[in-house]
Structure 1
């Protein structure tokens, strides 16, 4: 994960409204911004060069020039990654080369995930899970696999968890949620129409909405009360949703581990009790 983008995202919750406008513009169009002068960016964000310099210093850079240097470098690295990702399964690859490519790809996204996740947000998400009378997971396609994994984990510690493979049933469950429930919406793009519908319905019923999407502004994470994000590293075809699925499941593992830590004695007893010998 690029350091400048990570710093912007981490600073955003405590930023002023002017800074939030600048941050959102950069996050939505980092490649465009990497070619802008400070005056061009100020014009696009209806701010001033002084405000932009102040933001750069607030996130740890000496000024706009050092921030831009980092951003340009990170975009170049990102472009190289996507070129490699687009061709990481090649017709002539030897098996050992293919194995190394897949493993390196997964390790890389997990390293970037570590930089992207914010401790306070993880803590807030676990608190929301604790406080919910009922947790309903929402997801389709590869995200449904992640939702199933989450359901299995939290069922083991005796949480009231619901999930349906049919999205129409998911929609019905969203409409039956209350202010005491948690809607956990998983969508890599953050723009899956069915998931947007479910998130809207759950929110309209007063439920807390927690989202898990790729980084960047999306309809779903803008709807959510709590937003978790994974690196946006998949190529256009998502490579069969491989690295993104690994990252999503790792986030679930982190949430579950933190929940288990908070309820250690009871949780470990439940884990042992629900162990199924194979």
Structure 2
């Protein structure tokens, strides 16, 4: 169950991973929001140039048991639509003043976190925390900006004495995955869910019986399909100019959730590790 289930964000984030016919339904819904609650299944099928069965499959893909529950969720989301329109992401634009850039970046980062809270499944987070608490070691796999997220997670979990390692290049990912076993947890970080190096490592880890966790935007991606636990993020649909800023912030937020969840669950004995590492670093800063 998502913390604040917003079907409009879900459709936006999942659109690229839908089948071509489901995408036709999604496009029509997003472009004609006001009229959707008034349409029957047959009418939506006709307007989107699909079929009744395609509309119902689309609703199921979005996580709804039927068309009625989908429409109820659309109506609820429309209630805050005016505010939502004022609260859109802003891309990098030539000629913006520095004060405008500062405000836009702060807004985009806040929006990425807020939207991720709307789509992430709390039960999946709980399953991930339980797996991390009981595992022998943690391995993280990601490249580029996702690799930086893995390194952040490594730094955090090492502070509470968890055996943890981030692997950010193809060769080290393959060799690390080959050595994982049933007592280990592997976290695969990829916004697209289709990063080839990450998927290769996932196949090897899964064959070894390792528990696998995906952190990704696309819940219908190959990564999400193959992992045991899926932690969805939400990121803006901006141009190449913004790079991976939105996804990185969302992924770092998920890492913080996992770390805090594990530290809280094991607080009676990780407190001493947090204190030791804090004191060591504090002493370093005084020199």
TM over 0.5: yes
Question: Does residue 220 of structure 1 match 2:216?
Answer: no
* Structure 1 equivalent of residue 26 of structure 2: 30
Q: Distance in 2 between matches of 1:240 and 1:179?
A: 36
Matched, 1:209 2:212: yes
Query: 1:55 is matched with which residue?
Result: 66
Query: In 1, are the aligned partners of 2:141 and 2:187 still within 8 Å (CA)?
Result: yes
Deviating 4+ runs (over 3 angstroms): 5-8, 25-29, 32-37, 56-59, 66-71
- Cα deviation for residue 174 of structure 1 reads 0.7
Give 1:11's aligned residue. Answer: none
Q: Distance in 1 between matches of 2:105 and 2:178?
A: 40
* 8 Å Cα contact 2:119/2:233 also seen in 1: yes
What residue is the counterpart of 2:166 in the other structure?
Answer: 163
Q: Distance in 1 between matches of 2:177 and 2:212?
A: 10
Using the alignment, how far apart are the partners of 1:187 and 1:238 within structure 2? 19
* Distance change (3 Å), C-alpha of 1:54 and 1:127: closer
The equivalent of 2:119 in structure 1 is 116
Aligned to 1:131: 134
Query: Distance between the aligned counterparts of 2:130 and 2:117, measured in 1?
Result: 20
Specify the SS of the correspondent of 1:148.
helix
- Structure 2 unaligned regions, length at least 5: 12-17, 46-50
Give distance in 1, aligned partners of 2:275 and 2:124.
29
Given the two structures, how large is their TM-score scaled by the length of structure 1? 0.78
Counterpart CA distance in 1 for 2:167 and 2:126 is 27
Q: How many equivalent residue pairs?
A: 251
Contact 1:135/1:184, CA 8 A, preserved across alignment:
yes
**Residue 67 of structure 1, CA deviation:** 3.5
Matched, 1:96 2:99: yes
User: TM-score, length-normalised on structure 2?
Assistant: 0.75
Relative to structure 1, the CA distance from residue 222 to residue 94 in structure 2 (aligned partners, 3 Å threshold; closer, same or farther) is: same
User: Which of these residues, 43, 59, 63, is aligned with residue 53 of structure 2?
Assistant: 43
Shift in Å, 1:257: 0.8
Deviation at 1:136, TM superposition (A): 0.8
SS, match of residue 274 in structure 1: helix
Conserved? CA contact 2:92–2:241, under 8 Å: no
Structure 1 residues 232 and 226, CA gap change in structure 2 (3 angstroms): same
The verdict on how the C-alpha distance between 1:175 and 1:45 changes in structure 2, with shifts beyond 3 A counting, is: farther
Q: 1 CA distance for matches of 2:120 and 2:271?
A: 26
CA displacement 1:108-165 (0-9 Å, x = unmatched): 1111111112221111100011121121110100001000000011111111112233
Which stretches in structure 1 are left out of the alignment for 5+ residues?
9-21
CA deviation vs aligned residue, 1:189-213 (integer Å, no higher than 9, x gap): 1111111111111111111110101
Is 1:27–1:216's contact at 8 Å kept on the other side of the alignment?
A: no
Aligned match of 1:252: 255
Answer whether contact 1:110 1:247 (CA < 8 A) is retained: yes
CA RMSD of aligned residues (A): 3.5
The whole-number CA distance in structure 2 between the counterparts of 1:2 and 1:26 is 20
Is 1:197 aligned to residue 207 of structure 2?
no
Q: Displacement of 1:5 after TM fit?
A: 4.9
Q: Which has the higher contact order (CA 8 A, sep 6+)?
A: 2
Contact 2:121 2:232 in 1 (8 A): no
The offset of 1:44, in angstroms, is 2.2
